[in-house]
Amino acid sequence: MTAGPPSGTEVRRDGLHRVAPGRDALIGSRGGRRPGRGGEVVPPAEFRSYYGRAVIKPPVWKAHNIAGYLFLGGAAGGATLLAAGADLTGRPDMRRAARLVSAGATGLSLAVLIADLGKPERFVHMLRVVKPTSPMSIGTWLLSGLSPLVAVAALDEVSGLLPRRWADLVGRLARPSRLAATAIAPAVTTYTGALIANTAVPAWHGAYRELPYLFGASALAAAGGLVAAASPTSEAAPARIAGIAGSVAAQLLDRAVHRRLGMLAEPLTKGRSGRLLRASRWCAGAGIALLTASAVRRSRTLGVAGGLALAAESALTKFGYFHAGTASAADPKYTVVPQREHAPATPA
Amino acid sequence: MTDNLLEGREDPARDSGYPQPPPRMGFFTDTSVCIGCKACEVACKEWNLIPDDGLSLLGMSYDNTGMLGADTWRHVAFIEQDRPLGRQNNAVALMPVGPSSAARNAQVVAAGLGDQHGARLGSETGATRLGPSPDGGPAQPVTADGRTELRWLMASDVCKHCTHAACLDVCPTGSLFRTEFGTVVVQEDICNGCGYCVPACPYGVIDQRKDDGRVWKCTLCYDRLSVGQEPACSKACPTDSIQFGPVDELRERAAHRVEQLHDAGVVEARLYGADPDDGVGGTGAFFLLLDEPEVYGFPPDPVVTTRDLPAMWRHAVIAAVGVAATALAAFAGARR
Amino acid sequence: MLTTYRLTEHHTAGGMSRWLPYLSELQPEMFCEVSPELADTAGLDHLGWATIVTARAAIEARVLVTDRMVPVRVHDRIVHQVGLPYHWGRNGITTGDSANDLTHMALDPDVHIQEVKALTCDIRPGRRPRGPDRRRLVEEYQRRAGISATTGTTHRTTERLGKSG
């Protein structure tokens, strides 16, 4: 037996060359090697896994579709509420802005959700059943209910552009649509928390108590921000307040999630999620400051900037949580370690 | 603990509305007699016409499959460990020089594998270890050089066909359904590729086939069961490591086998998934393992996510009311 | 010391099983198995490439480091083992160098089938040279070991073999 160039003994016709140390060690002698299992190479054991492979499957959803939907759906639901409020309190410009935001976000939500299915025509299979055990089923029905209602509301805003007959029909449907949409909208903002928490993904499931509140608050921040940005400063006060309240609540709830998750919060603070969530905090601060300043100075420019900052905060939060979930699923540590703490006792 | 599930507890088929179902069928995979021939993997693919899922040398002992997925419904795991199997004696003490390195191998493998087969490997964590369980004590060197005995664990993994199946619960189309045999099957003409079941499965079994977007998993050969045949994998298993039958009967057989192994000095033998009181209500396909579940890539204490769904809905409704109230308050508080 | 063996996933030299995706994906590449000790000594990396050279040829294979390969002690010498499955060749879904290139044309003294269980070899890290360099590498080994075209062709009786081991 000879070895290649780097080291080891070469056997040649004229004898052995470069004899490896310990080569002639006798059985029973230590030969200079350390006993044990090469412990100097193995780092301290924290948990065990099958070749470091993930135990569960990370979500196959595309981030821009599903994390995008978490943001858009929230904005749609929140804007629908603000539209109703603006309507009731006589703020026509804000109402128009809110209705257009709500219809636009709802339309985009449906578009990204259907896009994620791969084949759009398969969407109709969602409408075969109503399944309370599946937040996605309930969510599909909520969104399918909301879409035509907010579409009618948005058309009512632009009825001047419609043919006369259509404008009349839309005008008659506008009020019942608005009421129904307002009833559905709050659930649309929060069910997404249950949607992603209802998985085996450690960072999501672990936060199932907080996620609906966090996503609802974040939805208000997004909707308040977008509507405030799209409305005249004089009418936008409720949107500003809702946005700021949502933003503050979302940041507090984000803290609560971190406390709840313990070691599972690691994916929220590391890597891409960590960067996204840190950026969302900066956006929250900037948005709140700018919107407050816009209210004081009656500045539309500041309002637009602040509103967009809050919307960005919401989007960054949703993307941050989405990626944290994926990261927590891809690393066996987050599945094995928490489960090991309360796993059944094993023999010997 | 499972009272609040929308699905029943003991007899999944009956609870799913079959008035007179046949006995619940399942697998008992006794890994102590698995020889790693992978006949189950091949038989499964042949019968179910599953495409191959890529030629990649993974370096995980003889496992070049990695884990279960859309195109792998049976997966044989290979684990090399630096300890003897029961009272087995490999006569290592007579031959070798140098320390054993099964534990180091695992490290090298994890570091060398990178991103393969869609799973990110734990090299980042720096804590991946395949070695023996800590409660088993350190491996006992059998030579002065520190080499230990070696055991080569093999285990054929499969869909667990849970009593409380998360994939089935979360499926928004009803594509996943409970059969009269108490198993869980995907109807491929109904699946619309939403992918919700993939992260919902606590075992990482069900997966999306990239080119068609739908999900696929073990059907426990529903077609064969329907005509009174046993599934392809258990039919092909040459050592009866994979045993097929009524779950009740298999559980009895498994308990007996554990006793037998304990008597033979294999004290580490334990059942996994046979307990009807675990987080998924027991599984239709359960295992006899020779180490802790996570060593084979199983979750140590899986829980069906929908156990907490009623609480989630409660929180979502309260949160929705909160959102509406905040919006209302915003208008109330806004000055003109 | 080199030894060859089969894998359950392939059939003989792989001429049939290497064309089947279900079997090829289970053992997709030619590999050599070495002990951790040999990997250290020869500088081999898990899943890296190694070149295995005998008096007859040089082939390349991916490295699997495993405790299942145990260095053995023959008298007072430590002999490392290199394990090679012999299922690969140039065609099929999965291709690789053939272990049969390395083996000698000798018969097992007891049962008179080809003797492929114990050959002397060298193993070195990296892929094998291509083209004429491959031949030159083997010739270099032959020159150093003093092997010529006539080496091993002398007729030996079983009595003599029995005596010399």
Looking at residue A105, which CATH number applies to its domain?
1.20.1630.10
Give the pLDDT confidence of A277-294 residue by residue, as tens digits.
999 999 999 999 999 999
Residue A54 lies in a domain: no
Neighbours of chain B (3+ CB pairs under 8 A): A, C
Nearest neighbour of B52 by CB, restricted to C22, C45, C73: C22
With b meaning 16 or more CB within 10 Å and e meaning fewer, what string describes B1-20?
A: ebeebebbeeebbbbbebee
Contacts of C28 in chain B (CB under 8 A): 55-57, 64
Considering chain A, what is the average pLDDT of its residues?
86
Q: How many CA atoms lie within 13 A of A293 on its CB side?
A: 13
CB contact under 8 A, B204 and A348: no
Q: Are C23 and C9 in contact (CB under 8 A)?
A: yes
Q: How many CB pairs under 8 A join B and C?
A: 93
Contacts of A292 (CB under 8 A, 6+ apart): A240, A244, A306
A347, pLDDT greater than 50: no
Res A312 pLDDT > 70: yes
Instruction: Provide φ and ψ at B60, rounded to 5°.
Output: -100, 75
pLDDT in the model for residue C68: 84
Q: Does C131 contact A at CB distance below 8 Å?
A: no
Between these two residues, A164 and B7, which has the higher pLDDT value? A164
Integer Cα distance of C70 and C142 in angstroms: 27
Average pLDDT estimate for A19-31 = 37
Q: Classify residue B3: in a domain, yes or no.
A: no
Q: Does the pLDDT at position A32 exceed 60?
A: no
Which phi and psi (to 5°) does residue C109 adopt?
Answer: -65, -25
Distance CA B325, CA B321 (A): 6
C76–A26 C-beta distance less than 8 A: yes
Residue B333 lies in a domain: no
Which chains lie within 8 Å of chain A at 3 or more CB pairs, if any?
A: B, C
Q: Which of residues 9-38 of B touch C (CB under 8 A)?
A: 36-38
Q: Which residues of B touch C26 (CB under 8 A)?
A: 38, 41-42, 64-65
Q: What pLDDT band is residue A45 in, cutting at 50, 70 and 90? A: very low
Asked if C23's CB is within 8 angstroms of B98's CB, the reply is: no
Which residue in A has a C-alpha nearest to residue C146's C-alpha?
A: A13
Q: Which tokens hold the place of A85?
A: 């409020």
- Is residue A30 one of the residues assigned to a domain? no
Quote the domain boundaries for residue A253: 63-330
pLDDT band at C85 (very low <50, low <70, confident <90, very high): very high
Which of B114-118, C126-130, C158-162 is modeled with the greatest confidence?
C126-130
Per-residue pLDDT, averaged over A40-67, amounts to 77
CATH code of B276's domain: 3.30.70.20
Closest residue, chain C, to B63 (C-alpha): C26
> Which of A21-35, A76-90, B159-173, B248-262 bottoms out in mean pLDDT, i.e. has the lowest?
A21-35
How many A/C residue pairs have CB atoms within 8 Å?
44
Percent helix / strand / coil, chain B, rounded to 5: 30, 15, 50
Residue B75 has what pLDDT? 95
Which chain C residue is nearest to residue B109, measuring alpha carbons? C46
Residues of A in contact with B200 (CB under 8 A): 198-200
Per-residue pLDDT, B115? 43
Query: Do B68 and B204 form a contact (C-beta atoms < 8 A)?
Result: yes
Q: Is the CB of B171 less than 8 angstroms away from the CB of A131? A: yes
* Chain C: touching chains (3 or more CB pairs < 8 Å): A, B
Closest residue in B to C36 (Cα–Cα) = B101
The pLDDT tens digits of the residues spanning C35-66 come to: 888 888 899 888 889 999 999 999 999 998 88
> Given an 8 Å threshold on Cβ–Cβ distance, is C78 in contact with A23?
yes
Please tell me the total count of domains within chain B.
1
| pLDDT number for residue A119 | 87
Contact A132 B308 (CB under 8 A): no
**Residue A166 is assigned to a structural domain of this protein:** yes
B269 vs C159, residue with greater confidence: B269
Interface of C with B (CB under 8 A): 7-9, 21-29, 31, 35-37, 45-47, 62, 64-68, 70-73, 78, 93-94
Q: Which of residues 208-227 of B touch A (CB under 8 A)?
A: 208, 212-213
Residue of B128, B286, B301 for testing the chain A interface, max A β-carbons within 10 Å? B128
Pick from A31, A85, A136: which is nearest to B194 by CB?
A: A136
Q: What is the pLDDT of residue B194?
A: 94
pLDDT tens for A97-133 read 999 999 999 999 999 999 999 888 999 999 999 999 9
Token digits of residue A213: 């509140």
Segment A34-55 mean pLDDT: 56
Say if residue A42's pLDDT is above 70: no
Domain count within chain A: 1
Residues of C in contact with A2 (CB under 8 A): 122
Q: Distance, in angstroms, between A13 CA and closest chain C CA?
A: 6
Residues sharing a CB contact under 8 Å with residue A280, sequence separation 6 or more, in sequence order: A312, A313, A314, A316, A317, A320
> pLDDT confidence of A49, banded at 50, 70, 90?
confident
Chain-chain contact of A12 with C145 (C-beta, under 8 angstroms)? yes
CB contact under 8 A, C123 and A4: yes
| Side chain identity, residue C40 | D
Do B294 and A336 count as a contact with CB atoms less than 8 A apart?
yes
User: Is there a contact between A23 and C146 if contact means CB atoms under 8 Å apart?
Assistant: no
CB contact under 8 A, C67 and B101: yes
| Residues of chain B falling short of pLDDT 50 | 1-8, 95-99, 112-137
Question: What are residue C58's phi and psi, to 5 degrees?
Answer: -130, 130
Q: Spell out the residues 6+ positions from residue A172 whose beta carbon is closer than 8 angstroms to its own.
A: none
Mean of pLDDT values over A19-28: 39
CA-CA distance, A232 to C8, in Å (whole number)?
Answer: 75
| pLDDT recorded at residue A258 | 95
CATH number, domain containing residue C23: 2.40.40.20
Report pLDDT for C133. Answer: 95
d(CA B132, CA B151) in angstroms, rounded, equals 10
Cross-chain Cβ contact B105/C94 below 8 Å: no
Q: How many domains does chain C have?
A: 1
> From the candidates B116, B306, B331, B335, which should be mutated to test the interface with A, based on the most A CB atoms within 10 A?
B331
pLDDT tops 80 at residue A17: no
Per the domain annotation, does A283 fall within a domain? Answer: yes
pLDDT of A315: 97
| Residue A89 pLDDT grade (very low, low, confident, very high; cuts 50, 70, 90) | very high
Closest alpha carbon within chain A to B137: A348
Q: Which of B166, B175, B213 sits opposite A118 (nearest CB)?
A: B213
Cα first-last separation, chain B? 53
B255 part of a folded domain: yes
- Which residues of chain C neighbour B51 with C-beta distances below 8 Å? 21
pLDDT of residue A348: 40
Compare CB distances from A5 to C79, C80, C124 and report the shortest one's residue. C124
Q: By the CB < 8 Å criterion, does C75 face chain A?
A: no
Interface TM-score (ipTM) > 0.90: no
**The most confident of A48-52, B114-118, B162-166, C102-106, by mean pLDDT:** B162-166
Residue B317 lies in a domain: no
A contact test, residue of C1, C32, C77 with most A CBs within 10 A: C77
Confirm whether A57 is domain-assigned. Answer: no
Q: Which residue of chain B has the CA closest to C10?
A: B37
Nearest chain A residue (CA) to B203: A56
* SS3 of C5-54: ECCCCCCCCCCCHHHCHHHHCCCCCCEEEECHHHHHHHCCCCCCEEEEEC
Residue A28: inside a domain: no
Q: Answer whether residue A7 is part of any domain.
A: no
A136 → closest Cβ in B133, B170, B306: B170
On whether residue A265 sits in a domain, the answer given is yes
